[in-house]
């Protein structure tokens, strides 16, 4: 056997980091404890302060004379460890330094003095303490002070558990024999591992033998972050194969996995040995070993001959199986990876500067169609008698003393209310024009610290009331809008879209180049204004070199891409001939070089490039060399899930998609298994730009569960990743989370993401939902043939989209039989797996689609006929629901009811063909739409034995009374007390919870009923946020319909002017509202 000629690392010694020393209770011959340099001064001061009390204690009749003599000798001489120990031994820990709050520190310092004493003094102390061990308290104190007296410690281990202070005993333990003597007491309790001193001192005294006990404590207390951190920190540093095995057994826990990887880095030889021995029956160990061998190839070669035969065979097998592709040649590596931009020399050529170009002072507004009206009609926090409300700004108020006072307070806030930014904004948005307009030029609040600024979508968010101010005052509102946008570009840049102005143009150019969060708004601004922005950009684009010039050049390239380079050059020529050549140079410059930041990547990327899967080039099948992979990691580290590094796109185009996906997921897995450092989240960017549908399937379960593990921010980043991947599957998953998620905040963020995606495609969220329903690989007729060879089955779906199969004899089966001996050995298992996957995929979409369609019926959603044919009648999966419903076609004043026949034609109640005009709109019929034909339709479906996916033809119908139609309140449901669970049922019927009030409660539930109206149920007590189950019975205070979903509006609108009557609701909506409320108050 070949022996290694290179010295291997020492992996059997516990190496304590410096950070542990201050926590360690040291022992003689062990690791040094905290420094004691400043002890004498502090001790002398305390002894001088309490000299009288000390003398009184030493003269006490119960003080041992020998100890008193030692203490006096200590006080009268230069001091010794013996004298200090004598004081403590006489009076116990409670008298140390005469300060009970410092008892533990005093004992710890005395123990450190004794540990550092010379041999003679140490033996003298031991002999003195030996004669004083007369009570259990003195015995444990002596054992703690000199824990190297192993017999003394053993005696304390054998004492009854309640007779010995546990922490002092733990800090005295030495060899493993002490643990055996402790027996059942040899465990680490919840309080033991709360203080890291215990764990560190146990590691120093007991060594690796304590590892199993720490591992068991981790099993019990890993949900407690302080305990978990201390346990894992010590475990990852303890040497010993058993320590490593204990950690490996728990590697399914991500916190333990991170500690295990720390241990692997610290003890690489042990990791090879133990992982190789465990790999035979442990897939996780095998994966870890594969990574480890890649990271330590040379070390593995050294230790391989010394491994047991079985372990050596495992390592050799993994090496052989790790079939690495050859590295690409230098000229094959994409340039950004071969020579990254931060290593390239700066351009030497000086840009041509054209001086004297004037900056235009003209300003203008450029509103998109209907945009100004939309902003004017935004709902904001307004001021009403007795408090605040949430609604549209009324007709501009008249100039009154009250408004003059309010505007003055907003202008120079002297009251607590006046200092509230949302209050000032409400005043300026709703106040009289002649009072407000002069204020806007000088009103500059501190946007960094005011209430509500960080809460996008909150009623107090400036985004709402600033839009009203901008729409009312236009250019006079620019100073306020620009101040907000500069302070908060991510939120405020969008508010500048209508303004055409030099300062706005320069800000937009800067954000376009340097601000990922505001880049979208900046792009939209240049798209809107186009060549009209050129006069404001040209002076900076040919001015002095620097950030302003680079930003202006970058913006000109964007305009040139939109309107053509000639438009930009012609403008420059007309403006100043001297500007033409520098502008041409800027336009001709490679965008990848001219506009990219030259910042350096993070110095430490916390990942070893060697352990990651190879990234293959598209052509030739060669792999990126490790140096290029490191540069790829750097590009990913400088990306975000919404904004890739400028060099990344070209690199991805040159690489194989499948290998990139594997690489990205492995990188993300390593990040999670190494502790998921919250300050390093660029691995999400890697998933966003490298991921595919396999990534989506792996990531979505994590996104759904992260909020419950304190990882809401990770979940939100996960949504960004899914949106960036952008596949149909990724978008379906975002949509599914938006429709149904356990955590409200995650659901809300997913809904926002769906709205963004839909808007980018020019769709509503419901239209996007139609397009995201998968066909699951079904045939055009909505079936799937499952081929077993000698026999075949056809899969279909019932009214709830539950799959079933029909055999060749026409017999229905609820499940597919398992393959038999006579079936084809290849076809049958594949078909069985396909049906299993189909059931799983259908479960993921069925409930959501049924819920969407029922909601479409109750809200009166309509589809153009072509969309109905594509997404319902012609969709392989949705067809199974669509043919079980009655539909109506509306064309002018004509309403025609029909169903889908088996051949997907339209049939009436008499089974006659129905012709639907091409420009008709289609809806799901509500019983009220069918009128007198309802019984005939019900009979037809009964005759054909058509089961419906949700109540339609048999749905209960309700109606308002004459008095209720004229009223804004439904008093028949008011003052009724019901269980809180009844109230929550409304959420399953399209209602949502109202805003959280200042007391942390939810006092209303809201149902949109169209045309900007809402039905609101206000609750007398309300629901407790985060503790809904503790809310108790709820009394319905009021049921009303109005233009505002917030309960304050009803509470403060004494005139009721903003309320609507229930008679304004259409019959279907009124029926559904009454059905919902009837269900709430029913037992």
Q: pLDDT (tens digit, 9 = 90+) per residue, 208-225?
A: 999 999 999 998 887 777
Counting every residue written for the chain, the total comes to: 1083
Report domain extents, the chain. 354-363+519-596, 364-500, 609-744, 792-820+822-943, 962-1081
Q: Tell me the mean pLDDT in the region 650-677.
A: 90
φ, ψ for residue 360 (rounded to 5)?
A: -60, 145
Taken in order 523, 527, 531, 536, is the CA torsion positive or negative?
A: negative
**pLDDT score for 96:** 39
Q: d(Cα 686, Cα 632) in Å, to the nearest integer? A: 10
- For residue 356, give every residue at least 6 positions away whose Cβ sits within 8 Å of its Cβ, in sequence order, or none: none
* pLDDT over 70 (residue 76): no
* pLDDT over 50 (residue 920): yes
Q: d(Cα 156, Cα 181) in Å, to the nearest integer? A: 9
Q: Strand (E) positions, 865-1000?
A: 887-891, 894-900, 906-907, 921-924, 977-978, 992-993
Element (H, E) at 114: helix 103-116
**pLDDT score for 943:** 94
Inter-axis angle of helices 478-487 and 502-514, to 10 degrees? 20
Q: Is-contact 682 697, C-beta < 8 A?
A: no
Q: d(Cα 153, Cα 751) in Å, to the nearest integer? A: 63
**What's 533's DSSP letter?**
G
Question: If you search the block for the tokens 């720490």, which residue do you land on?
Answer: 214
Confidence of residue 100 (pLDDT cuts 50, 70, 90): very low
Compute the CA torsion angle 1036, 1040, 1044, 1050 (nearest 10 deg).
Answer: -70
Q: Is-contact 89 110, C-beta < 8 A?
A: no
**pLDDT score for 75:** 63
Q: Is-contact 1013 1064, C-beta < 8 A?
A: yes
Q: Is-contact 521 493, C-beta < 8 A?
A: yes
**pLDDT score for 629:** 92
792-797: strand order across its sheet: 784-787, 792-797, 803-807, 812-813
Q: Is-contact 660 615, C-beta < 8 A?
A: yes
**DSSP one-letter string for 132-146:** T--SHHHHHHHHHHS
* pLDDT over 50 (residue 826): yes
* Tokens at 808, concatenated: 């060749």
Confidence of residue 891 (pLDDT cuts 50, 70, 90): very high
* Tokens at 305, concatenated: 């001959």
* pTM of the predicted structure, to 2 decimals: 0.69
Q: Is-contact 661 694, C-beta < 8 A?
A: yes
* SS3 of residue 875 by DSSP: coil
Question: If you search the block for the tokens 């996995």, which residue do you land on?
Answer: 257
Element (H, E) at 937: helix 934-943
Q: Tell me the mean pLDDT in the region 752-767.
A: 84
Q: d(Cα 182, Cα 656) in Å, to the nearest integer? A: 60
Q: Tell me the mean pLDDT in the region 57-82.
A: 65
- For residue 820, give every residue at least 6 positions away whose Cβ sits within 8 Å of its Cβ, in sequence order, or none: 828
Confidence of residue 110 (pLDDT cuts 50, 70, 90): confident
Pairing mode of beta strands 812-813, 863-864:
unpaired
* pLDDT over 50 (residue 722): yes
Q: d(Cα 584, Cα 1066) in Å, to the nearest integer? A: 62
- For residue 637, give every residue at least 6 positions away whose Cβ sits within 8 Å of its Cβ, in sequence order, or none: 601, 602, 605, 682, 685
Q: Tell me the mean pLDDT in the region 226-248.
A: 92
Q: pLDDT (tens digit, 9 = 90+) per residue, 1027-1060?
A: 677 778 889 999 988 876 655 444 434 344 457 8
- Which residues is 996 bridged to in the sheet? 1002
* pLDDT over 90 (residue 783): no
**pLDDT score for 400:** 66
Taken in order 245, 249, 252, 256, is the CA torsion positive or negative?
A: negative
**pLDDT score for 590:** 56
CA 577 to chain centre: 53
φ, ψ for residue 892 (rounded to 5)?
A: 65, -125
* pLDDT over 90 (residue 939): yes
Could you tell me which of 442, 485, 441 has the C-alpha nearest to residue 467? Answer: 485
Count of other CB atoms within 10 angstroms of residue 1005: 25
* SS3 of residue 921 by DSSP: strand
Could you tell me which of 1069, 1004, 1083 has the C-alpha nearest to residue 1039? Answer: 1004
**pLDDT score for 389:** 41
**What's 384's DSSP letter?**
E
Q: How would you class 327 by CB atoms within 10 Å of its CB: exposed for 0-12, middle for 13-18, buried for 19 or more? A: middle
Element (H, E) at 969: none
**pLDDT score for 101:** 43
Element (H, E) at 683: helix 682-690
Biggest CA–CA distance in the chain, Å, is: 118
Count of other CB atoms within 10 angstroms of residue 634: 22
* pLDDT over 80 (residue 708): yes
Q: d(Cα 165, Cα 322) in Å, to the nearest integer? A: 55
- For residue 460, give every residue at least 6 positions away whose Cβ sits within 8 Å of its Cβ, in sequence order, or none: 381, 421, 422, 451, 452
Q: d(Cα 618, Cα 1024) in Å, to the nearest integer? A: 56
Q: Tell me the mean pLDDT in the region 399-418.
A: 62
Could you tell me which of 820, 762, 769, 758 has the C-alpha nearest to residue 791? Answer: 820
Could you tell me which of 929, 893, 889, 928 has the C-alpha nearest to residue 906? Answer: 889
Q: How would you class 56 by CB atoms within 10 Å of its CB: exposed for 0-12, middle for 13-18, buried for 19 or more? A: exposed
φ, ψ for residue 968 (rounded to 5)?
A: -100, 0
Element (H, E) at 642: none
φ, ψ for residue 930 (rounded to 5)?
A: -90, -20
**What's 883's DSSP letter?**
T
Q: d(Cα 181, Cα 157) in Å, to the nearest integer? A: 6
Least confident of 22-31, 510-519, 527-536, 1061-1070: 510-519
**pLDDT score for 238:** 95
* pLDDT over 60 (residue 188): yes
**Mean pLDDT of the residues in the chain:** 83
Confidence of residue 34 (pLDDT cuts 50, 70, 90): confident
Q: d(Cα 649, Cα 656) in Å, to the nearest integer? A: 13
* pLDDT over 70 (residue 86): no
Q: Tell me the mean pLDDT in the region 960-973.
A: 92
**What's 240's DSSP letter?**
S
Q: d(Cα 124, Cα 114) in Å, to the nearest integer? A: 11
Mean pLDDT: which of 261-275, 429-443, 1041-1055 is highest?
261-275
φ, ψ for residue 249 (rounded to 5)?
A: -60, -25
CATH classification code of 962-1081:
3.30.310
φ, ψ for residue 1000 (rounded to 5)?
A: 80, 20
Helices (H), 1-95: 18-21, 39-49, 51-58, 65-76, 81-91
Least confident of 284-288, 340-344, 539-543: 340-344
Q: d(Cα 729, Cα 738) in Å, to the nearest integer? A: 14
Instruction: For 574-607, give one letter per residue: b (16+ CB within 10 A) or e.
Output: ebbebbbebbeebbeeeeeebbbeeeebeeebeb
Query: What is the separation, in whole angstroms, between the first and last Cα of the chain?
Result: 82
Q: How would you class 563 by CB atoms within 10 Å of its CB: exposed for 0-12, middle for 13-18, buried for 19 or more? A: middle
């Amino acid at each position: 056997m070949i022996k290694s000629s290179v010295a291997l690392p020492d992996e059997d010694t516990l190496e304590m980091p410096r950070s542990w020393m201050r926590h360690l209770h040291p022992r003689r011959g062990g690791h040094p404890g905290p420094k004691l340099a400043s002890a004498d001064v502090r001790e002398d001061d305390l002894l001088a302060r309490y000299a009288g009390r000390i003398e009184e204690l030493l003269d006490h009749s119960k003080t041992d004379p020998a100890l008193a003599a030692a203490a006096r000798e200590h006080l009268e001489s230069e001091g010794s460890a013996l004298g200090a120990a004598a004081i403590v031994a006489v009076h116990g820990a409670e008298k140390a330094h005469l300060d009970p709050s410092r008892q533990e520190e005093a004992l710890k310092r005395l123990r450190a003095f004794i540990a550092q004493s010379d041999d003679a003094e140490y033996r003298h102390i031991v002999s003195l303490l030996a004669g004083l061990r007369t009570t259990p308290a003195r015995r444990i104190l002596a054992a703690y002070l000199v824990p190297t007296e192993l017999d003394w410690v053993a005696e304390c281990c054998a004492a009854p558990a309640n007779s010995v202070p546990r922490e002092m005993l733990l800090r005295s333990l030495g060899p493993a024999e002490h643990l055996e003597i402790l027996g059942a007491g040899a465990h680490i309790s919840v309080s033991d591992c709360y203080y890291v001193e215990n764990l560190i001192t146990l590691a120093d005294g007991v060594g690796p033998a304590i590892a199993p006990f720490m591992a068991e404590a981790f099993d019990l207390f890993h949900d407690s972050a302080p305990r978990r951190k201390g346990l894992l920190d010590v475990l990852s540093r303890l040497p010993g194969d058993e320590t490593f095995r204990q950690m490996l057994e728990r590697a399914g826990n991500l916190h333990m996995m991170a500690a295990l990887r720390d241990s692997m880095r610290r003890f690489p030889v042990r990791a090879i040995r133990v992982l190789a021995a465990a790999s035979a029956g442990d897939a996780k160990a095998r994966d870890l070993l594969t990574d480890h061998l890649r990271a330590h190839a040379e070390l593995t070669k050294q230790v391989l001959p010394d491994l047991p035969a079985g372990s050596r065979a495992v390592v050799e097998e993994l090496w052989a199986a790790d079939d690495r592709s050859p590295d690409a040649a230098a000229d094959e590596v994409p340039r950004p990876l071969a020579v990254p931009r931060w290593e390239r020399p700066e351009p030497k050529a000086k840009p041509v500067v054209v001086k004297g170009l004037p900056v235009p002072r003209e300003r203008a507004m450029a509103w998109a169609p209907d945009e100004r009206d939309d902003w004017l009609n935004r709902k904001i926090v307004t001021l009403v008698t007795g408090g605040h409300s949430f609604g549209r700004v009324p007709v501009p108020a008249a100039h009154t003393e009250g408004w003059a006072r309010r505007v003055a307070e907003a202008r120079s806030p002297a009251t607590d209310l006046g200092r509230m930014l949302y209050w000032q904004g409400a005043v300026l948005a709703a106040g009289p024009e002649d009072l407000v307009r002069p204020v806007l030029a000088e009103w500059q609040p501190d946007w960094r610290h005011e209430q509500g600024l960080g809460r996008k979508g909150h009623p107090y968010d400036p985004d709402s009331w600033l839009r009203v101010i901008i729409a009312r005052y236009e250019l006079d509102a620019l100073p306020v809008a620009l101040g907000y946008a500069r302070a908060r570009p991510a939120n405020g840049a969008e508010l500048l879209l209508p303004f055409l102005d030099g300062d706005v143009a320069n800000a937009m150019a800067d954000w376009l180049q340097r601000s990922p969060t505001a880049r979208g708004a900046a792009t939209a601004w240049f798209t809107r204004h186009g060549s009209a922005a050129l006069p404001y950009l040209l002076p900076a684009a040919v001015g002095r070199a620097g950030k302003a010039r680079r930003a202006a050049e970058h913006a000109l390239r964007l305009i040139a891409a939109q309107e053509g380079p000639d438009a930009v050059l012609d403008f420059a020529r007309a403006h100043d001939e001297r500007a033409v050549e520098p502008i041409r140079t800027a336009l001709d410059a490679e965008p990848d070089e001219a506009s990219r930041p030259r910042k350096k990547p993070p110095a430490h990327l916390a990942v070893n490039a060697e352990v990651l899967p190879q990234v293959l080039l598209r052509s030739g099948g060669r792999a990126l060399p490790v140096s290029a992979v490191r540069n790829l990691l750097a590009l990913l580290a400088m990306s975000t899930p919404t904004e890739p590094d400028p060099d990344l796109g070209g690199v991805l185009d040159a690489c194989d998609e499948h290998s990139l996906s594997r690489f990205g997921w492995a990188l993300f897995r390593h990040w999670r298994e190494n502790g998921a450092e919250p300050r390093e989240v660029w691995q999400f960017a890697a998933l966003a730009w490298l991921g595919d549908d396999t990534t989506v399937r792996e990531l979505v379960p994590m996104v759904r569960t992260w909020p419950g593990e304190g990882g809401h921010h990770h979940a939100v980043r996960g949504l960004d990743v899914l949106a960036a991947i952008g596949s149909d599957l990724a978008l379906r998953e975002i949509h599914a989370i938006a429709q149904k998620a356990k955590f409200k905040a995650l659901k809300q963020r997913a809904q926002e993401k769906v709205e963004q995606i839909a808007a980018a495609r020019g769709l509503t969220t419901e239209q996007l939902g139609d397009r995201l329903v998968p066909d699951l690989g079904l045939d055009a007729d909505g079936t799937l043939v499952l081929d077993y060879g000698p026999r075949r089955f056809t899969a279909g779906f019932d009214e709830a989209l539950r799959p079933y199969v029909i055999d060749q004899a026409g017999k229905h089966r609820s499940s597919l039989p398992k393959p038999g001996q006579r079936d084809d050995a290849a076809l049958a298992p594949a078909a069985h797996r396909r049906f299993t996957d189909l059931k799983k995929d259908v479960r993921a979409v069925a409930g959501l689609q049924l819920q969407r369609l029922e909601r479409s019926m109750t809200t009166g959603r309509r589809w153009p006929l072509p969309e109905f044919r594509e997404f319902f009648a012609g969709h392989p999966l949705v067809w199974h629901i669509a043919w079980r419903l009655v539909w109506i076609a509306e064309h002018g004043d004509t309403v025609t009811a029909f169903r889908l026949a088996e051949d997907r034609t339209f049939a009436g109640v008499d089974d006659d063909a129905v012709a639907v005009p091409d420009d008709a709109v289609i809806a799901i019929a509500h019983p009220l739409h069918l009128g007198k034909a309802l019984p005939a339709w019900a009979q037809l479906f009964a005759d054909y034995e058509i089961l419906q996916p949700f109540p339609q033809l048999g749905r209960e119908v309700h109606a308002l009374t004459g008095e209720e139609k004229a009223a804004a309140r439904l008093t028949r449901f008011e003052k009724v007390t019901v269980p809180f669970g009844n109230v929550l049922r409304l959420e399953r019927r399209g209602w949502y919870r109202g805003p959280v009030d200042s007391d942390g409660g939810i006092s209303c539930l809201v149902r949109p009923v169209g045309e900007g109206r809402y039905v609101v149920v206000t609750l007398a007590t309300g629901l407790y946020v985060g503790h809904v189950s503790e809310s108790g019975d709820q009394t319905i205070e009021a049921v009303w319909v109005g233009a505002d979903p917030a309960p304050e509006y009803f509470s403060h609108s004494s005139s009721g002017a903003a309320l609507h009557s229930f008679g304004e609701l259409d019959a279907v909506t009124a029926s559904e509202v009454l059905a919902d409320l009837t269900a709430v108050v029913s037992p």
